[in-house]
A = this chain, B = another copy of it.
């Protein structure tokens, strides 16, 4: 794909006329829509269209397809790998105004929303139904964007990721045709799984405009706990034992010793500077008690501390504060530094080893980088705090990220558990997938022969 200035001008003229004030070309808006949240340089789209319906998206994609101009779907812009950058210019289609909850079925435990609806908007809407949508990637991301990046987060260990919780999507494809990937039945064997193909495709195969999601009953009881360990290995062994034993832990988050020191200072807490698990159990009164007791026994076997428990909402919030503040605590630790989040995911049996090797590598490279992990899934984040004006430090950070991706892949894991490929992880696709990357690219070429949908991401063309 190449940016064709004349084609862009034609498309902008057509869209401006058709959409009036929904279509914007101001630099500030264009900058906002290419803001990567990370150290990846922004690449601005030529214009932004605020879509109000699937029909709007369809019209815009058709115009862009006719003239070979790029289309970059945009939800809330909270992705972390340059996923919304516009390396070839083109039109950013902002779906944030498409944020209605269209339908909730309490009998079927599902709901249908427009793609721009955020997870917090959905959960606010559901407040009186006794149901909730569990996937929580941290940011208040749009549900369409979460589907597109196959997001997950802290409670994926119990509720799964977007892969598991999207029932179907409506998407506008590169030819401007609308696809509804599946019906609303809980399972089907009727052909290829187009839902799972679009989930995680990062806008390169279609623009998701609506989706149906699975919902869950709000648990009768929630119990939170904090448990500290002598080393990461003991925390990981306890996690493995708990999952093997079938304890349906809802959240199990690891903070390494450095991250604990950071949150202590930031939030004025007094935890030991040791690897720590933050826990949450969901269930009935009895079941939660049983889970907690069982977990405590397993933790003790691995030399873990006595667990501090909290039951009431405000106590649980206080207990989890350290985890929730982790990102800001890290930024405050080194004023002036940029946080450059990266993630990887390995089989849980390799997690302690992968975290420890990464820890040593961070130290060897003279970086400051706390580690936080969704350990029940073998997924962890490293957050190097980097002075971006120091080219040498930036280069050492890049070395660390590269070695981490390669280390994870060598351990039968993946270069990203939940952030996606975007631009930042493209260089690991061939290593991780081998011929599979060619298959992905062949699918892309078949469904988007003009390479207009989010070009330059995920696949090669």
Kindly specify which of A104-112, A226-234, A359-367 makes contact with the partner chain: A104-112
Q: Is the CB of B345 within 8 A of A186?
A: yes
- Chain B residues lying within 8 Å of A190, measured Cβ to Cβ, are 414-416, 420-421, 425, 428-429, 432-433
Contact at B458–A378, with CB atoms within 8 Å? no
CB distance from A419 to the nearest CB of B (A): 6
Asked whether A181 is an interface residue with its Cβ less than 8 Å from the other chain, the reply is: yes
Residues of B within 8 A of A177 (CB): 435, 438
A181 contacts B436, C-beta separation under 8 Å: yes
Interface residue range, chain A: 35 or more
**For A186, A287, A414, A421, which residue has the most chain B Cβ atoms within 10 angstroms?**
A186
- Complex CA gap A412/B219 in Å reads 28
Q: Per-residue 0/1 for A194-217: is the Cβ within 8 Å of any B Cβ (1 yes, 0 no)?
A: 101101110001000000000011
Binding stretch for chain B, among A91-99, A255-263, A316-324, A443-451:
A443-451
- The answer on a CB contact under 8 Å between B378 and A186 is yes
**Using Cβ atoms and an 8 Å threshold, which residues of chain B touch A458?**
191-192
A156 at interface, CB cutoff 8 A = yes
Q: Is A149 an interface residue (CB 8 A)?
A: yes
Complex contacts, A149 vs chain B, CB 8 Å: 189
Interface centre among A105, A160, A193, A418 (most CB of B within 10 A): A193
What is the 8 Å Cβ interface bit string for chain A, positions 138-177, against chain B (1 contact, 0 not)?
A: 0000000000011110001000110110000000010001
The yes or no answer to A335 lying at the interface (CB within 8 A) is no
Measured CA separation A343–B284 after assembly (Å): 35
Q: Is A246 an interface residue (CB 8 A)?
A: yes
Closest to A151 in B: B189
Residues in B neighbouring A416, C-beta threshold 8 A? 188-190
Q: Count this chain's copies in the assembly.
A: 2
Asked if A437 lies at the interface with its beta carbon under 8 angstroms from chain B, I say: yes
Select A185's contact among B346, B438, B442, beta carbons within 8 Å.
B346
Question: What is the chain B residue whose CB lies nearest that of A345?
Answer: B185
Q: Does A325 contact B (CB under 8 A)?
A: no
CB of B435 within 8 A of CB of A183, answer: no
Q: A440 at the A/B interface (Cβ < 8 Å)?
A: yes
Whether the Cβ atoms of A347 and B445 lie closer than 8 Å is: no
Kindly state the separation between the CA atoms of A355 and B393 in the bound complex, as whole angstroms: 66
Contacts of A240 in B (CB 8 A): 107
Residues of the B chain whose Cβ atoms lie less than 8 Å from the Cβ of A105: 347, 349
Cross-chain contact of A246 among B164, B219, B347 (Cβ < 8 A): B219
Q: Is the CB of B187 within 8 A of A418?
A: yes
Residues of B within 8 A of A408 (CB): 185
Instruction: Give the chain B neighbours of A346 by CB distance below 8 A.
Output: 185
Assuming the A-B contacts A219-B246, A446-B442, are A152 and B187 also in contact, with contact meaning beta carbons closer than 8 angstroms in the complex?
yes
Q: Does A40 contact B (CB under 8 A)?
A: no
- Shortest A130–chain B CB gap in Å is 8
Partner of A348, one of B107, B287, B433: B107
Is A179 on the interface with B (CB-CB < 8 A)? Answer: yes
A272 in the interface, Cβ–Cβ < 8 Å?
A: no
How close is A439's CB to chain B, nearest CB, in angstroms?
6
The closest CB in chain B to the CB of A436 belongs to B179
What CA separation (Å) do A188 and B188 show in the bound complex? Answer: 23
Q: Which residue of B lies closest to A415 (CB)?
A: B190
CB atoms of A447 and B439 under 8 A apart? yes
Top 7 closest A-B pairs, CB basis?
Answer: A446-B446, A196-B196, A107-B349, A188-B414, A185-B345, A184-B412, A185-B413
Q: Given A109-B243, A150-B189, A173-B439, 4 other A-B contacts at CB below 8 A?
A: A190-B432, A192-B205, A197-B197, A287-B290
13 residue pairs of the A-B complex, CB under 8 angstroms, read: A150-B187, A150-B189, A180-B433, A185-B412, A187-B345, A190-B428, A191-B200, A191-B421, A191-B440, A192-B205, A192-B440, A286-B287, A443-B443
